[in-house]
Chain A
């Protein structure tokens, strides 16, 4: 009897310690990695904005607000910096106002069992799984100004109206090449967004859709009054993702217009500076200031849009 009580007293304590060790062991690496590569990196980004690399001393030294001063000076006086920012800003309307609504409409009809919808769904997955290197190469080669298949089609089509038709150099100069980057973005982004939207539409309960049909409402009304409110959380998230592309767009200009400095973006400028290990302290400042301006706007948009329709659990 006494022995039993003793054991009972001991076990919970030992068990508690064992549990603690277990928790610490399981979380040690993930938390450490996170503290270093998220916490410290963000903290160091702020430090870096007050530093510059001294070649004579071979290390980073304090430089006060020099980087900040340089940022505002360049925004005002340097046309390349301004163009970089403006190019990046255009990614937002392309993603959030063109690709998103188009993909919502596409997904709705894909869901409506258009013939071959299963096949389409598989094909539209391609942009999400193929490497962007290959997607961009396929795209730019299709428009290659000497050997690309689009040239022949263009000549054949416009040749019917004008015998001296000249094929434009699609990636040759600004702003045509910037527009081509957005065309590429739509081509690829449509597939990606359709995948997201069809998944959201597929979650809508059958009863709700059937109710609409019994009432005999048309496609447009069903889309507007049933589908859109019910997939709204996904729409908001995708819209916000489109806004963040202002800060993240980098590989499209890098791969589609590798030799053109005109199509630079914020993220590409930062990437290139790191790749060449040049001016990284200034680029950290560049990114930080723009994030500080952009993040509140993104958060505000997110909150405002979320209020359009009450979130429904289904």
Chain B
């Protein structure tokens, strides 16, 4: 970032007005969560008496009470801990599978010449730019016919589409890698598979991790897909909606605030830990053109 040292007075005034607007917007983004955090430590009685007051005592009882709320489906009863575990498993599995398959497809299409290579790339690009709506019914019918409806492997198959954002970034990456390393390995008698596994993947590791984090956040937050295709196994994104609605209907607001805070902590943790990677790569020029 460059600093502008010589601003005229009107420019300085303008910048301070802008600063004011920025602060207001930032405040509106933080305020609801700060307010919920404070209220998540109150009793419901305290909350109803005064929604602005600070909690009289600092206690995690609401956070423990959240565990008493369940969502019942055809296969069993799920509390927030179960949903959390389910989300972790699905997110990890989907992210590893998707990132690996996207890298495989991207590597072969970027580095090998074969019939249909350009066609594959163009079709993939087309699907990324043009969202075609109204295919949800046919997708639903296909999932039912394949017996994948309402199964965890089924949702992983849906998430394993390998020609998305990750594919395009990886394609660009493999395209620009210097061929010398691979050539040297081939001369030494390495197979295509060995070159990919032992040379290309380790080189691409940093970018793959960044893309995996971004993809993983998307899966963790996804509501539409699991709400349709995984009705019996509520993930956190789907389950907290049900739990918070139950809490509101019984007047358990304090527990509801605790639930909301619990659900954003993991994602905030990931964001803080990988802040720079996420902020640099989330857009990564992916939207240019």
Contacts and interface: CB of A to CB of B under 8 A. Distances in A.
Interface SS, B side: helix
A7 to B, nearest CB: 13
Contact of A137 (B22, B223, B244, B282): B244
A30 interface: yes
B104 A30 contact: yes
Contacts of A200: 283, 287-288
A40 B145 CA distance: 13
B193 interface: yes
Given A33-B157, A187-B28, A137 B260 contact: yes
Contacts of B253: 147
A41 B135 contact: yes
B131 interface: yes
A152 B163 contact: no
Interface in B129-179: 130-142, 157-158, 160-163
A238 interface: yes
Interface SS, A side: helix
A270 interface: yes
Contacts of B108: 22-23, 26-27
Nearest to A125: B279
A30 B228 CA distance: 23
A180 interface: no
Contacts of A25: 193
Contacts of B130: 295, 298-299
A44 B163 contact: no
Contacts of B32: 138-139, 141-142
A293 B170 CA distance: 34
Contact of A18 (B48, B123, B191): B191
B273 interface: no
Interface residues of A, number: 103
Interface string B175-196: 0000000000000000111001
Contacts of B142: 36-37, 40-41, 44
A199 B29 CA distance: 21
Contacts of A41: 135, 138-139, 142
Nearest to B27: A123
Contacts of B205: none
A267 interface: yes
Given A141-B32, A209-B2, A270-B133, A29 B101 contact: yes
B139 A37 contact: yes
B103 to A, nearest CB: 10
B172 to A, nearest CB: 15
A155 B203 CA distance: 60
B137 A274 contact: yes
Contacts of A36: 142
B122 interface: no
B283 A244 contact: no
A41 to B, nearest CB: 5
Contacts of B221: 129-133
Given A112-B4, A121-B279, A196-B287, A287 B237 contact: no
Contacts of B73: none
A255 B33 CA distance: 18
A196 B281 CA distance: 11
Given A27-B105, A27-B108, A131 B267 contact: yes
Q: Which 6 A/B pairs are nearest by Cβ-Cβ distance?
A: A287-B134, A280-B137, A30-B162, A138-B32, A199-B283, A22-B192
